[in-house]
Amino acid sequence: MNPFSFLHVEYLLQAAVWTVVLSLVAFAFGGVAGFVIALWRVSPNRLLRNIASGYIQVVQGIPLLVILFVAYFGLAIAGFKLTPLVAAGISFAIYCAAFLGEIWRGCIQAVPKTQWEASECLGFNRYEQLTKVILPQAIKIATPPTVGFMVQIVKNTSLASVIGFVDLSRAGQIINNSTFQPFTVFGCVALIYFCLCFPLSALSKHFERKLNVSNR
């Protein structure tokens, strides 16, 4: 039984880097997919709308852990052996796309209808409406909840530990199994997560306040 020491903290911090990497990957891929989903959700094309809506409803009704298991264990048995990192990345991207798509859809719809009407009457086509008028406004509205969701992303990366990926949580489990000091070890892990997440939460609140003031 080893005492918990600075070496362990170092190990945790190194693992935390992977947590950040995984979060960024999830946000990048999930963000791109989520953007497409959001646009499809507000599309005049009924098929696209329904596909996007169905996707969101299904993914939001399944635990992330189950998606991870399907991606890692499920696909492995079927012949697609993915590394934990890739499986986690794909699962998180799928999950984030659904939630970000829903958030961003709300933000697009929060832009007043009059903006659509005004730009249409000026002769813009749908693409120009979106890029020049609607999306710039939607992005402003979307900033607080998007930054808020990044907190969820960081926390969700902890599930990658379940399929063996050595992120911050897995590192904590490994250390706990040799030091048997769960309060100290997981307390430290929680603290590192807190240091990653709290600034994002605070930033989100800051953006929200700014948005409410400017909308007065």
Partner 1 sequence: MNYTFDFMSVFANWDRLLMGAWLTIQLSALSIALGFVVGTLCAIAGKSRLALVRGLIRAYVEIIRNTPLLVQVFLVFFGLASIGWKLSAETAAVIALTVNVGAYTTEIMRAGINSIHPGQIEAAECLGMSRLHVYWHVVLLPAVERVYPSLTSQFILLMLASSITSQISAEELTATANLVQSETFRSFEVYAVIAVAYLALSFLFRGAFWLISQLAFVRKRKLGTNL
Report the interface residues with partner 1, using CB under 8 A: 58, 60-67, 69-70, 73-79, 151, 155-159, 161-162, 169, 172-173, 176, 180-183, 186-187, 189-190, 193-194, 197-198, 201
Of the pair 118, 195, the CB lying nearest partner 1 is at 195
- In 3-state terms, what secondary structure has residue 90? helix
Of the pair 33, 67, the CB lying nearest partner 1 is at 67
Cβ at position 92, least distance to partner 1 in Å = 13
Determine the residue type at 121.
C
Of the pair 28, 66, the CB lying nearest partner 1 is at 66
Cβ at position 114, least distance to partner 1 in Å = 23
Cβ at position 177, least distance to partner 1 in Å = 10
Of the pair 130, 207, the CB lying nearest partner 1 is at 207
Of the pair 49, 155, the CB lying nearest partner 1 is at 155
Cβ at position 73, least distance to partner 1 in Å = 4
Cβ at position 108, least distance to partner 1 in Å = 20
DSSP per residue, the chain: -PPP-HHHHHHHHHHHHHHHHHHHHHHHHHHHHHHHHHHHHT-S-HHHHHHHHHHHHHHHTS-HHHHHHIIIIIHHHTT----HHHHHHHHHHHHHHHHHHHHHHHHHHHS-HHHHHHHHHTT--HHHIIIIIIHHHHHHHHHHHHHHHHHHHHHHGGGGGGGT--SHHHHHHHHHHHH--HHHHHHHHHHHHHHHHHHHHHHHHHHHHHHHHHT-
